[in-house]
Amino acid sequence: MAPLHLGLLATLGAHALALAFTRRASIASITDSEWDAFNATVSGRLRNGEPMLAPCYTRYNGEAQEPDLEQCSVLQKDGGDLTYATGQFGMYVNSQWGACQATGQTCTFGPIRPDILTPILDTCEQGSVPTKYVDAQSVEDVQRTLVFAGENSLRLVIKNTGHDYEGRSSAPDSLALWTHNMQPPIEFNEEFVPEGCSESGGDSITFGAGEQFGRIYDFVEARGYRIVGGSSITVGAAGGWITGGGHSLLTNELGLGVDNVQQLKAVLPNGTHVTANRCQNQDLFFALRGGGGGTFAVITEMTSRVYPKKEMQFVEISFANIGVGAQRRLMDIFVSNGEKWAAEGWGGYIYCFSIGTGIFIGTSLLNYDEAVESMKPLSDFATHLNIGVVNVTTTDSFRAGLQAFVETQEIGIFPGSAWALSSRIVKHDSFAPEKQQELSSILSNFLNVQQELLEPSLQILVLCLTMPAVYSQSMPESDLPGGPGHASISPHWRDGVWQALHFRAYSGSIKDPELVRKIAQNAHDAMNPLRAFTPDSGAYINEADPWEPDYINSFWGQENYERLLRIKREVDPENLLMVRKGVGWDENDGRFSCYPDVDES
């Protein structure tokens, strides 16, 4: 009983620090002339928010409309190309977050392309797509939008690429700040010295809030460098990725995104533009690196370290139709080699379906022969079952090596694809020899769950070999707790060897709220055995399910959370930036009314 009481006290303590709750006004409370006056202050960049697929429909928000056939044929053709689609304000990569899941109001396609029937048979509804947005292109646009939203108590959303898995970049009846077009030319800085510092933090690049990894990779490669970045070329570097932590194929060797940031510039909720680094505004520097997307300030510019190119070994394998027994043997191989492979620098993804397993990993700590030797357990497995060979590909281009995985992701994401997921960081101690059998069995069971006929979703278990356990052993002192470069991610990350992600993929055309709720509930519940097996671990805020239990401990740990809460009260006393369960969360805020009603136990 005692620990329970202590936990309860800590929770009450946190609530005593809670923020003032401001009731939000509806977008409809602002008159046309007030909108026009505001529009003039943001250089005419105010727009009406509309779901991306709205031009295809004959009925939009309850009214008949003439479909825009030309625009619709572009959407049918290019809507699944994420580089194109993330350039559309009304697009959400996980389409359920563009919908209001609690009511079923949405505007989406089914899984078959082109989808001619849905737009004719169904109607398009606004769902959770913000009603108005500012296509921000300057610091001033960001400042004026924050001040306007604050003065009028509007519900404000920051949207970059719309990749978020938790609906933090959408909300009904809101004004959005769209950062996608904040893409000034990327700059290369040899021996970058952060403002106010006297020492260089190493070679770095500086880019705007809207920059995506594809362009960043191309930029650094052309100059002979590599950078710690995400697996998807369309994820935004300076938005959700960095504010959540940011993992990469290079994390075993070079750390997380937050470990590589040299400097951030950001606009505070009151409109002040500030610079944060290891020498000034360290509180904000701490909060913006792990505290959660859209919570403390709007990042306008980011400077991150780059490293000279290095030869890298990549391995891509798929084992299809190998049966339950062989799948289990494969999982035993993954688990028993987990720590060894991390120490050898292998980062990447193992994705397990009930019918087979795919592997995409890379390392720059081994040469070709060493990589072949390291993969021997997998080649022996393949030879034994006579299912091919394990090929190692050598390249000094990270981007070229990544291409195979980029293509794999593109197959799975199309307009209308919806993804419910849950996350767990798996730490060193779970790989102890006496625990391996149980870990392997729990992970294998993710895929053995009986699929209910009326809840059509595809189950996938992804093991992310992108955790910083190895890097953390040699972290610079300045970035340890108490140092000026300490980041607000939870301490669990620092012992993290893997992150286990459970996905349930379904069609966005499924809109019955009860069915959507069940799918989200199943994705949440499927993680419970692993949660129970790793009681002293956490989850990745960016890839967790929105109902993560004990989220304060999972995402930040109590100590980081208390510092974050203090910073939040200082920079955002009105709680203007508050998107979902997180620092400054208030469950009475109507913006969560579109979330499915999932049981959090």
Ligand X SMILES: *[C@@H]1O[C@H](CO)[C@@H](O)[C@H](O)[C@H]1NC(C)=O
Ligand Y SMILES: Cc1cc2nc3c(=O)[nH]c(=O)nc-3n(C[C@H](O)[C@H](O)[C@H](O)COP(=O)(O)OP(=O)(O)OC[C@H]3O[C@@H](n4cnc5c(N)ncnc54)[C@H](O)[C@@H]3O)c2cc1C
Separation CA 278–CA 176 (nearest Å): 30
Separation CA 261–CA 281 (nearest Å): 14
> Choosing among ligand X, ligand Y, none, which partner's interface includes residue 155 (Cβ < 5 to 8 Å by kind)?
none
Q: How far is the CB of 571 from ligand Y (least distance, A)?
A: 12
Task: Give Cβ neighbours of residue 539 (< 8 Å, ≥ 6 apart).
Answer: 422, 423, 424, 425, 548, 551, 554, 555
Provide the 8-state DSSP code for 472.
Answer: H
- Among 293, 358, 584, 596, the residue binding ligand Y under the rule CB under 6 A is 293
Q: How far is the CB of 131 from ligand X (least distance, A)?
A: 10
- Among 11, 29, 73, 391, the residue binding ligand X under the rule CB under 6 A is 391
How distant, in Å, are the alpha carbons of 188, 226, 407 from that of 222?
Answer: 11, 10, 22
> Choosing among ligand X, ligand Y, none, which partner's interface includes residue 48 (Cβ < 5 to 8 Å by kind)?
ligand X
Q: How far is the CB of 388 from ligand Y (least distance, A)?
A: 27
Of 268 and 447, CB closest to ligand Y: 268
Of 11 and 272, CB closest to ligand X: 272
- Which residue has tokens 């910073």? 567
Under the binding rule (CB under 6 A), the answer on residue 39 touching ligand X is: yes
Stretch touching ligand X by CB under 6 A, among 80-88, 264-272, 400-408, 473-481: 264-272
The candidate with the shortest Cα–Cα distance to 416, out of 160, 129, 53, is: 53
Of 270 and 441, CB closest to ligand X: 270
Edge-to-edge order in the sheet of strand 132-135: 46-48, 132-135, 175-178, 156-159
Stretch touching ligand Y by CB under 6 A, among 228-236, 316-324, 333-341, 429-437: 228-236
Alpha-carbon dihedral 127, 128, 131, 133, rounded to 10 degrees: -140
Under the binding rule (CB under 6 A), the answer on residue 452 touching ligand X is: no
Enumerate residues 67-126 that contact ligand Y by CB under 6 A.
Answer: 93
> Both tokens of residue 245?
């932590």
- Among 1, 2, 12, 389, the residue binding ligand X under the rule CB under 6 A is 389
> Choosing among ligand X, ligand Y, none, which partner's interface includes residue 596 (Cβ < 5 to 8 Å by kind)?
none
- Going residue by residue from 405 to 444, which x/- string records binding to ligand Y, judged by CB under 6 A? ----x-----------------------------------
Under the binding rule (CB under 6 A), the answer on residue 34 touching ligand X is: no
- Among 27, 46, 216, 426, the residue binding ligand X under the rule CB under 6 A is 46
Q: How far is the CB of 132 from ligand X (least distance, A)?
A: 6
Q: How far is the CB of 12 from ligand X (least distance, A)?
A: 26
* Residue showing the smallest CB distance to ligand Y in the complex: 240
Q: 376-385 and 323-343 helices cross at what angle (nearest 10)?
A: 160
| Sign of CA pseudo-dihedral 397, 398, 402, 406 | negative
- Going residue by residue from 266 to 285, which x/- string records binding to ligand X, judged by CB under 6 A? --x-x-x-------------
Under the binding rule (CB under 6 A), the answer on residue 299 touching ligand Y is: yes
Alpha-carbon dihedral 530, 531, 532, 534, rounded to 10 degrees: 80
DSSP string, 443-455: HHHTTTSPPPTTS
> Choosing among ligand X, ligand Y, none, which partner's interface includes residue 359 (Cβ < 5 to 8 Å by kind)?
none
- For 318, other C-beta atoms within 10 Å of its C-beta total 14
Count Cα atoms within 13 angstroms, Cβ side, for 380.
8
* Residue showing the smallest CB distance to ligand X in the complex: 44
Under the binding rule (CB under 6 A), the answer on residue 568 touching ligand Y is: no
> Both tokens of residue 515?
């069915």
Count of residues engaged in binding ligand X, rule: CB under 6 A: 14
Of 72 and 177, CB closest to ligand Y: 177
Separation CA 367–CA 322 (nearest Å): 30
Task: Give Cβ neighbours of residue 406 (< 8 Å, ≥ 6 apart).
Answer: 231, 232, 233
> Choosing among ligand Y, ligand X, none, which partner's interface includes residue 398 (Cβ < 5 to 8 Å by kind)?
none
Stretch touching ligand X by CB under 6 A, among 89-97, 230-238, 384-392, 421-429: 384-392
Enumerate residues 316-375 that contact ligand X by CB under 6 A.
Answer: 317
Enumerate residues 137-176 that contact ligand Y by CB under 6 A.
Answer: 158-165, 168-169
> Choosing among ligand X, ligand Y, none, which partner's interface includes residue 571 (Cβ < 5 to 8 Å by kind)?
ligand X
> Both tokens of residue 446?
């993710």
Q: Show the 3-state SS of 510-577.
A: CCCHHHHHHHHHHHHHHCHHHHHHCCCCCCCCCCCCCCCCCHHHHHCCHHHHHHHHHHHHHHCCCCCC
Task: Give Cβ neighbours of residue 190 (< 8 Å, ≥ 6 apart).
Answer: 203
Of 112 and 404, CB closest to ligand X: 404
- Among 51, 55, 244, 345, the residue binding ligand Y under the rule CB under 6 A is 244
**Burial of 354 per CB tally in 10 Å (0-12, 13-18, 19+):** middle
Count of residues engaged in binding ligand Y, rule: CB under 6 A: 34
Enumerate residues 532-571 that contact ligand X by CB under 6 A.
Answer: 570-571
Under the binding rule (CB under 6 A), the answer on residue 48 touching ligand X is: yes
Of 129 and 238, CB closest to ligand Y: 238
3-state secondary structure (DSSP) of residue 207? strand
Count Cα atoms within 13 angstroms, Cβ side, for 174.
29
Measure CA 73 to chain center: 30
Separation CA 244–CA 246 (nearest Å): 6
**Burial of 517 per CB tally in 10 Å (0-12, 13-18, 19+):** middle
Of 175 and 421, CB closest to ligand X: 175
Of 332 and 572, CB closest to ligand Y: 572
3-state secondary structure (DSSP) of residue 123? coil
Of 60 and 351, CB closest to ligand Y: 351
Stretch touching ligand Y by CB under 6 A, among 241-249, 277-285, 367-375, 513-521: 241-249
Interface residues with ligand Y (CB under 6 A) are: 93, 158-165, 168-169, 179, 209, 230-232, 235-236, 238-241, 243-244, 246-247, 293-294, 298-299, 409, 542-543, 579
Interface residues with ligand X (CB under 6 A) are: 39, 44, 46-48, 268, 270, 272, 317, 388-389, 391, 570-571
